[in-house]
Amino acid sequence: HVFVAGSANLDFVARAPHVPAPGETVLGRGLELHPGGKGANQALACARAGGASTHMLVALGDDAFGATLESSLRDADVQLHIVRAAGTATGTAFICVSDEAENAITVAPGANDTLAPHHLPPLGAATHLLLQLETPLESVEAYARAARDAGVRVVLNAAPARRLPASLLSRVDLLVVNEGELAMLAGTDDIAQGLERAGVNDVVVTLGARGCIARSGDATHLQPAFRVKAVDTTAAGDTFCGALVARLSAGDALDVALRYACAASALACTRAGAQSSVPTRDEVVALLAA
Ligand code: ADP
């Protein structure tokens, strides 16, 4: 199975004519609440891709938001290992989306910041541990070390973008980044140079509507994007990561898993929302066969 350790947030989304400037108040339209957070989105995408069961370590507050996030993951058949952050609120994100599709996001990490190095349970029969950077870096590094020691492959989605210590990168088997994250990590806008300098042997770079490129040892794989009518690219990257690791855990070769992940993330772009936009395995298989 796949083990995911990471964040969960409840997203509060308001649409407005424009994103407010400092000190300004804008009147928005309605309010949408969506389960989100990179860790939870990726766990759900992994579970929907099927082929392997999905476990997740997540920290939630003892509040109604936590209950909402918990049920959305349970409904997707994610096996949860919950750290209860007593007296701390569940993670939230306040998102304003303008009519020009610009956004401004404030995240209050809350319980996600309480995920500590000692919280990772034994990984059991897991083949892969999937990590992101929305929880404390110290814990991400401790989990990567524990997985390495247990013979579990470590996959890091280095998002949100930041520089990372060699002590973490040296314990990563597969790095998944978008172009901005690669540039930040490798200190160059040149993708070929970034792949060289990332400090990880196997690297996948997602390229939005251009698909993705991967380097594994000496081999390079290019996977063009699937042509779809994109309406909302929220969680495209998360869908890609979850689907990719699900297929690798099920035994697919990297190029086969990349093709599946590109198809799954393309379908996620055709629907609004984060977790609600993640396609099922049957939908992805239909696109692959088309
Ligand atoms: P992120 O959302 O993390 O910035 P990307 O924008 O690179 O990541 O998108 C992740 C993946 O989603 C891409 O590799 C691609 O397969 C798919 N994708 C994104 N945008 C589109 C699009 N407009 N059409 C088809 N696929 C897309």
Nearest one of 111, 12, 109 to 61, comparing CA atoms: 111
Q: Is 238 a catalytic residue?
A: yes
Average pLDDT, the chain: 95
Pick the CATH number of 2-8+36-90+111-289 from 1.10.3720.10, 3.40.1190.20, 3.30.420.10, 3.40.50.620: 3.40.1190.20
Compute, in angstroms, the gap from residue 176 CA to the centroid of ligand 1.
Answer: 12
ipTM entry: 0.98
The pTM assigned to this predicted structure is 0.96
Question: Where do the domains of the chain lie?
Answer: 2-8+36-90+111-289
Catalytic-labelled residue, pool 75, 189, 238, 252 = 238
Tokens 């086969």 -> residue? 256
| 100-109, 115-124, 134-143, 147-156: least confidently modelled range | 100-109
Kindly give the distance from the C-alpha atom of residue 202 to the centroid of ligand 1, in angstroms, as a whole number: 19
- Burial (CB < 10 A; 0-12, 13-18, 19+), residue 28, is middle
Q: Whose CA is nearest to atom 24 of ligand 1?
A: 209
Asked whether residue 101 carries a pLDDT value surpassing 80, the answer given is no
Contact 202, 177 (CB under 8 A): no
Does 231 or 109 have the greater pLDDT score? 109
With beta carbons less than 8 A apart as the criterion, state whether 235 and 278 touch: yes
pLDDT one-digit tens code per residue, 16-45: 999 999 999 999 988 999 999 999 999 999
**Running DSSP on this structure, what letter comes out for residue 208?**
G
Q: Any idea of the CA torsion for 275, 269, 6, 62, to the nearest 10 degrees? A: -30
| Residue 29: strand pairing partners | 15
Q: What is the DSSP pairing of strand 202-206 with strand 174-178? A: parallel
Dist. CA 272 → ligand 1 center (Å): 14
Mutate-to-test residue for ligand 1 from 184, 240, 258, 259, highest number of ligand atoms within 8 A of CB: 240
Q: How many CA atoms lie within 13 Å of 151's alpha carbon, on the beta-carbon side?
A: 2
Residue whose CA lies nearest to ligand 1 atom number 26: 266
